[in-house]
Amino acid sequence: MAAGIWVFIEQQKGQIRKVSLELLSEGRKGADQLGVKLGAVILGEGIQGLAEQVASYGADEIYLADDSQLANYTTGAYTSVLASLIREREPQAFLLGNTAIGKDLAPRLAQRLGVGLASDCTGMEIDSEKIFKFKRPVYAGKAFAHVGSIVQPVMATIRPNTFPLAEPNPDHKAEVIPVQAEIGPEDLRVVLKDLVLAVSERPELTDANIIISGGRGMKGPENFAILEECADVIGAAVGASRAAVDSGWREHKFQVGQTGKTVSPTLYIACGISGAIQHLAGMSSSKYIVAINRDPEANIFNVADYGIVGDLFEVVPVLTEEFKKLVNQ
Cβ-proximal residues to 275 (8 Å cutoff; 6+ apart), any chain: 291, 298, 299, 300, 301, 302, 303
Q: How far is CA 58 from CA 49, 83, 132, 138, 165, in A?
A: 16, 23, 20, 32, 11
Rounded to the nearest 10 degrees, what angle do helices 312-328 and 224-234 cross at?
20
30, 48, 71, 149 from 14: Cα distances, Å: 27, 9, 10, 33
- Kindly report whether the peptide bond that precedes residue 178 is cis, defined as omega within 30 degrees of 0: no
Each of the 329 residues of the chain gets a pLDDT tens digit; together they read 456 999 999 998 889 999 999 999 999 999 999 999 999 999 999 999 999 999 999 999 999 999 999 988 999 999 999 999 999 999 999 999 999 999 999 999 999 999 999 999 999 999 989 999 999 998 877 889 999 888 899 999 999 999 999 999 999 999 999 999 888 777 777 777 777 766 677 899 998 999 999 999 999 999 999 999 999 999 999 999 999 999 999 999 999 999 999 999 999 999 999 999 999 999 999 999 999 999 999 999 999 999 999 999 999 999 999 999 999 88
Number of H helices, E strands in the chain: 8, 17
Of 281, 210, 274, nearest to 239 by C-alpha is 210
Bridge partners (DSSP) listed for residue 292: 271, 308
5-9 sheet: strands from edge to edge: 118-121, 154-158, 93-97, 5-9, 38-44, 61-66, 175-178
Residue 305 amino acid letter: D
> What does the alpha-carbon distance between residue 319 and residue 98 come to, in Å, rounded to a whole number?
32
Q: By the 8 A CB rule, do 137 and 46 touch?
A: no
Confidence (pTM): 0.87
- Enumerate domains of the chain plus CATH numbers: 5-187 (3.40.50.620), 205-328 (3.40.50.1220)
Residue 265 vs residues 110, 145, 160, 161, 299: alpha-carbon distances, Å: 28, 21, 8, 6, 20
Q: CB neighbours (10 Å) of residue 89?
A: 16
Phi and psi of 188, rounded to 5°?
-120, 40
